[in-house]
Amino acid sequence: MAGHRALMRTPLGPIQVRWEPGALLGIELEAEVAAPGDAGALPDAFACALDAYFQDGAYRFDLPLRLVGTTFQHRVWRALSAILPGRTLTYGQLAQELGTSPRAVGGACRANPCPIVIPCHRVVGAHGLGGFAGDLSGRKVAVKRWLLGHEGAEPPG
């Protein structure tokens, strides 16, 4: 995808932020280096918003986004954005609200190009934490647990 990239140091380790003028495009949680030729300084609006969140888990993002996805994925991402910091819903609860299946909600969460800003980490399993960004264990699930704790949510099991 086109756009600029920059690494940002966070309590989670470095993340890669992608943007184009006037819009955030995505966040990569497992960033190592910016792609050659398109690295730049992260615009203040994006850097300040992410810093504010990492300082205060109750911070609510209001950033211009340009997200690539299906109509259904955008519908799920809007619903995710409505979940307040410190709150969680299960995949089943969100699916019921949207008139779809938990598996479809999980697929849209996995396709989320802007984790943290679009808070897919606030969707949990009925009997446990559930996965995060396509992983069921490991670093990404530890990131989900950290994000929920940072926001004051009680992570399940």
Q: What is the pLDDT of residues 93-151, one digit of tens each?
A: 999 999 999 999 999 999 999 999 999 999 999 988 888 877 778 888 999 999 999 99
Q: What would the DSSP string read from start to end of 42-109?
A: PPHHHHHHHHHHHH-TT------B-----HHHHHHHHHHHTSPTT--EEHHHHHHHHTS-HHHHHHHH
Q: What is the pLDDT of residue 39?
A: 61
Q: What is the pLDDT of residue 139?
A: 84
Domain with CATH 1.10.10.10 in the chain: 71-151
pLDDT at residue 37 is higher than 60: no
Find the catalytic residue in 48, 109, 114, 120.
Answer: 120
CATH architecture, domain defined by 71-151: Orthogonal Bundle (1.10)
Q: What is the pLDDT of residue 38?
A: 55
Mean pLDDT of 87-92: 96
Q: What is the pLDDT of residue 76?
A: 98
* Average pLDDT over all residues of the chain: 90
120 as an active site residue: the answer is yes
Q: What is the pLDDT of residue 155?
A: 60
Give how far Cα 71 sits from Cα of 2, 13, 55, 84, 85, Å: 21, 32, 33, 23, 25
